[in-house]
């Protein structure tokens, strides 16, 4: 199953070297965190490999996979389409129905309140993989080994700071997740 998914991802992203390297980086990073936290390695392997499967799909492809409500809900935040779309495709095309895998793929963009360990590991690995350049991925990885909730907050803060610099309004769900992890980590020192 994992080989089949890996091959499908390699094939799908074969013309986008950067995305492919990023995906393999997320995979390696997520596996290390999964081992550290004694998670099911297969689940983490599948979710990490597949998380950006739909990243380069066209709006027509998204519309063919997502519901009209989903398209409308995230019209101002189309980055969400690739996560929702990949989550649907792994169910439909690869017969994967595991809730941890599906929800980790869905929530990899902004995270969400009350994430479980699978969701946190995929969310953080998206930032902590070694090919990231606009912050130090290794610092996030090291933090994730020590305190994954702090690492989650760090990733959210980085994205919000980036949006702020670009004068882009965050999504309400993104802010909810951020405030939740502010609360979870309150009183801790980094
Ligand atoms: Fe993504
Ligand atoms: Fe990614």
Return the CATH number at 50.
1.10.3210.10
pTM of the model: 0.96
**In whole numbers, what is the pLDDT of the chain averaged over residues?**
96
Does residue 190 lie in a domain region? no
Segment 95-129, tens digit of pLDDT: 999 999 999 999 999 999 999 999 999 999 999 99
What is the CA(181)–ligand 1 centre distance, in A?
20
- In the reported structure, the alpha carbon of residue 52 is separated from the centroid of ligand 2 by a whole-number distance in angstroms of 5
Angstrom distance (rounded) from CA 177 to CA 123: 12
In a domain, 48, yes or no: yes
Give the domain range for residue 155: 2-184
Ligand 2 being an ion, which residues bring their Cβ within 5 A of it? 52, 126
Kindly report the number of other CB atoms within 10 A of residue 102's CB atom. 20
Confidence of residue 160 (pLDDT cuts 50, 70, 90): very high
Given this model, what pLDDT does residue 99 score? Answer: 98
Contact 175, 157 (CB under 8 A): no
Residue 80 is predicted with a pLDDT of 97
CA-CA-CA-CA torsion sign (117, 123, 124, 130)? positive
- Say how far residue 23 (Cα) sits from the centre of its chain: 10
* Domain tally, the chain: 1
The pLDDT score that the predictor gives to residue 133 is 83
């Amino acid at each position: 199953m994992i080989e089949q998914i890996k091959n499908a991802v390699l094939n799908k992203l074969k013309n986008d070297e950067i995305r492919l390297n990023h995906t393999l980086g997320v995979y390696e990073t997520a596996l290390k965190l999964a081992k550290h936290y004694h998670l099911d390695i297969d689940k983490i392997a599948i979710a990490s490999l597949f998380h950006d499967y739909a990243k380069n799909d066209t709006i027509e492809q998204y519309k063919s996979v997502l519901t009209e409500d989903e398209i409308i809900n995230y019209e101002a935040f189309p980055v969400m389409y690739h996560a929702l779309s990949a989550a649907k495709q792994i169910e439909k095309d690869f017969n994967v129905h595991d809730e941890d895998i599906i929800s980790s793929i869905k929530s990899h963009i902004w995270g969400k309140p009350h994430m479980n360990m699978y969701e946190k590991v995929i969310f953080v690995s998206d930032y902590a993989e070694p090919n990231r350049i606009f912050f130090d991925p290794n610092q996030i990885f090291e933090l994730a080994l020590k305190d994954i909730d702090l690492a989650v907050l760090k990733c959210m803060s980085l994205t919000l700071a980036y949006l702020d610099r670009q004068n882009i309004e965050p999504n309400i769900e993104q802010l909810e997740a951020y405030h939740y992890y502010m609360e979870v980590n309150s009183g801790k020192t980094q």
